[in-house]
Amino acid sequence: MKMVTESEWEVNVPDKQLKDKVYFENLKSVVIDTEMCSRCLTCAAICPGGITVVNNKVDFPDYETKCLDCGACVRVCPRFVYEPKSGLGDYIEFTAGRSKRFAGQDGAMVTEFIVSAMEMGLIDRGLFAGRDENWATEMFHVRDSEQLTITTLGGTKYTFADVLPELKKAVMFTKSGVGVIGTPCIVSGIRKLQQEFPIFREKVKLVVGLFCTENFHYDDISNFLKAKGVDFSKLVKTDITKGKFISTMTDGKVKFKVTEAEDIVASGCNVCTDFTAVESDASCGSVGSAKGFSTVVVRTEVAKKVIEFIRAKGHADFGDADPAQLDFLIGHKKKRAENIKR
Ligand SMILES: Cc1cc2nc3c(=O)[nH]c(=O)nc-3n(C[C@H](O)[C@H](O)[C@H](O)COP(=O)(O)OP(=O)(O)OC[C@H]3O[C@@H](n4cnc5c(N)ncnc54)[C@H](O)[C@@H]3O)c2cc1C
């Protein structure tokens, strides 16, 4: 539907399926109630009313009185008009990298990309998903590499991070631009924001995607890990590798088959087919390269410039990466989504 706003520019708002209901009720009926919602929070980032998370679900308390029916939520939701992405996506270079400066989940190439982009002057801040002592995520605006002495900023947290509401603040504060990291659903949300709202187009300069099979709501995964004997006060790393969920503590490891946690995988992950974050500028993961390296997929000219800078400065070691090693997880996500009955 074409809508002319008060400022008289035209925007395209997807058609309402429930014609006599406000847009939030349409989002709820198409995406949230059908359990397709990825909890990327793109809608919450843009909603002028009050979309938030209640009991692990995207919700809008009091929407009857507070929803402005502006349609922003359905314009940016990557799953309202869902065009599933999959495969390796387009790329310029497929390689393995290990930062010489930073520690991370694998080769810390995600951190290296963001910091190098800052040093190049492409961006003046990078948004990182850190964590508190109980492994709940917290967002940080990193302005220089010294802040990375906060060791909890790097590494994988197998729970959701509120990246996109924070990105909205970052685009308002930045002068030169923002670098942002996210799982494939978050990357798709960022592209939607850029498509619909010029400030995100102008200010978000680098989007680093993470390979992702699935994610978990915080209370689900923390209760699950505690029941398995994980002591959060000693937990230093969580990893999913070769079908095993591994929690590394200061005094030992707890390992179990990741399929044991299948029932607590967030429902929106089960419909997702994008393993490699195909819409990112560059994406990184652990599968595809040797231990201690990040697999790096360079997709756009901007990411190519950053990796050229990393090479020229000698900030990372590079090695071989094998795209065929990603086939299993790419295929697994497609199959899992096909098996979901909607
Ligand atoms: C939920 C999840 C599932 C994943 N599943 C797979 C998988 O199945 N196979 C695979 O090969 N790789 C997977 N990855 C990616 C992998 O764990 C590493 O993040 C990747 O290899 C990059 O490592 P690095 O050392 O380069 O990153 P680092 O330099 O350590 O940087 C990683 C950055 O990611 C950000 N981050 C961490 N957790 C989250 C989160 N929950 N949401 C948003 N941002 C976050 C932080 O800002 C952190 O700084 C997954 C990542 C996540 C978050």
In terms of domains, do 118 and 152 share one? yes
Quote the pLDDT of residue 66.
95
In terms of domains, do 209 and 230 share one? no
pLDDT class for 1, splitting at 50, 70, 90? low
Task: Say how many domains are in the chain.
Answer: 3
In terms of domains, do 280 and 154 share one? yes
**Which residue owns the Cα nearest ligand 1 atom 8?**
213
Domain-located, residue 65: yes
Q: For the chain, how many helices (H) and strands (E)?
A: 12, 15
Q: Residue 222 sits in a domain of what CATH number?
A: 3.10.450
d(CA 111, CA 108): 5
Cβ atoms of 172 and 120 within 8 Å: the answer is no
Tens digit of each residue's pLDDT (9 = 90 or more) over 46-86: 999 899 999 999 999 999 999 999 999 999 999 999 999 99
126 CA → ligand 1 middle, Å: 15
Q: Is the dihedral of CA 322, 327, 330, 336 positive or negative?
A: negative
C-beta of 289 in contact with ligand 1 (< 6 A):
no
Mean pLDDT, rounded, for 267-278: 97
Quote the pLDDT of residue 185.
98
- Which of 232, 281, 280 lies closest to 132, judged by CA? 232
C-beta of 166 in contact with ligand 1 (< 6 A):
no
Tens digit of each residue's pLDDT (9 = 90 or more) over 162-176: 999 999 999 999 999
In terms of domains, do 320 and 272 share one? yes
In terms of domains, do 14 and 71 share one? yes
105 CA → ligand 1 middle, Å: 7
Rg (CA), the chain: 20
Q: Residue 304 above 90 pLDDT?
A: yes
C-beta of 183 in contact with ligand 1 (< 6 A):
yes
In terms of domains, do 115 and 169 share one? yes
Q: For residue 287, which atom of ligand 1 is closest to its CA?
A: 11
In terms of domains, do 228 and 240 share one? yes
CA distances, 183 to each of 17, 110, 231, 278 (Å): 29, 12, 26, 10
Domain-located, residue 82: no
Which of 210, 211, 264, 265 best tests ligand 1's pocket when mutated (most atoms within 8 Å of CB)? 210
Specify the 3-state DSSP secondary structure of 136: coil
Q: For residue 296, which atom of ligand 1 is closest to its CA?
A: 26
In terms of domains, do 282 and 323 share one? yes
Q: For residue 329, which atom of ligand 1 is closest to its CA?
A: 8
**Which residue owns the Cα nearest ligand 1 atom 35?**
129
C-beta of 181 in contact with ligand 1 (< 6 A):
yes
Domain-located, residue 181: yes
Quote the pLDDT of residue 11.
77
Quote the percentage of the chain above a pLDDT of 90: 92
- Which of 75, 84, 89, 34 lies closest to 58, judged by CA? 34
Quote the pLDDT of residue 340.
81
What tokens were used for 67? 């929803």
In terms of domains, do 124 and 235 share one? no
d(CA 316, CA 191): 28
Domain-located, residue 88: no
In terms of domains, do 280 and 296 share one? yes
67 CA → ligand 1 middle, Å: 34
Backbone angles phi, psi at 323, to 5 degrees: -60, -30
In terms of domains, do 193 and 298 share one? yes
Domain-located, residue 86: no
111 CA → ligand 1 middle, Å: 10
Cβ atoms of 298 and 93 within 8 Å: the answer is yes
C-beta of 284 in contact with ligand 1 (< 6 A):
yes
Tens digit of each residue's pLDDT (9 = 90 or more) over 72-131: 999 999 999 999 999 999 999 999 999 999 999 999 999 999 999 999 999 999 999 999
Domain-located, residue 81: no
Domain-located, residue 87: no
Q: Residue 315 sits in a domain of what CATH number?
A: 3.40.640
Tens digit of each residue's pLDDT (9 = 90 or more) over 14-50: 999 999 999 999 999 999 999 999 999 999 999 998 9
C-beta of 187 in contact with ligand 1 (< 6 A):
no
pLDDT class for 147, splitting at 50, 70, 90? confident
**Which residue owns the Cα nearest ligand 1 atom 19?**
156
- Which of 34, 29, 103, 117 lies closest to 73, judged by CA? 29
Backbone angles phi, psi at 155, to 5 degrees: 90, 160
**Which residue owns the Cα nearest ligand 1 atom 49?**
154
State which of 51, 76, 101 marks the end of a domain: 76
Domain-located, residue 171: yes
In terms of domains, do 26 and 123 share one? no
Beta strands 137-142 and 125-131, pairing class: antiparallel
Q: Residue 280 above 90 pLDDT?
A: yes
**Mean pLDDT of the chain, nearest integer:** 95
228 CA → ligand 1 middle, Å: 22
Expressed as residue numbers, the domain containing 26 is 2-76
C-beta of 156 in contact with ligand 1 (< 6 A):
yes
